[in-house]
Amino acid sequence: MINNIITNETKQDLKNRVEYIEKKIAEKDDILLDIREAFEAAGNAGYDVKAMKEVIKLRKRDLQKVVNEEDMRELYKDLLIEI
């Protein structure tokens, strides 16, 4: 029934959009593999991968917020040491 309403142009448009999304998903999977391999190579070279991931996360954020959070963590650590 619904097939009678949809034009060939609409079918082709839908097909093109689905294929585009599939292509992007495949590209994303390739990029994720590249990232995994880059971290593995860094680990094999002796770098701390966990620390690298944390630095990457921090670099995405606002520097002032990061500094404020680190200051607060240091304050809390100092208070806990005193207890």
Given this model, what pLDDT does residue 47 score?
98
Angle at 21 between CA 20 and CA 26, to 5 degrees: 100
> Do 39 and 68 sit in the same domain of this protein?
no
pLDDT in tens, the chain (83 residues): 566 778 899 999 999 999 999 999 999 999 999 999 999 999 999 999 999 999 999 899 888 998 999 999 999 998 898 77
Please indicate, yes or no, whether residues 4 and 35 belong to a single structural domain of this protein: yes
Whole-number pLDDT of residue 1: 55
Residues 55 and 83 in one domain: yes
Q: Residues 1, 32: one domain? A: yes
DSSP assignments along 16-38, one per residue: HHHHHHHHHHHHHHHHHHHHHHH
Domain ranges, residue 19: 1-47
pTM greater than 0.75 (yes/no) = no
Total tally of structural domains belonging to the chain:
2
Same domain as 26, residue 3: yes
My answer on whether 14 and 37 are in the same domain is: yes
Is residue 62 classed as helix, strand or coil in its secondary structure? coil
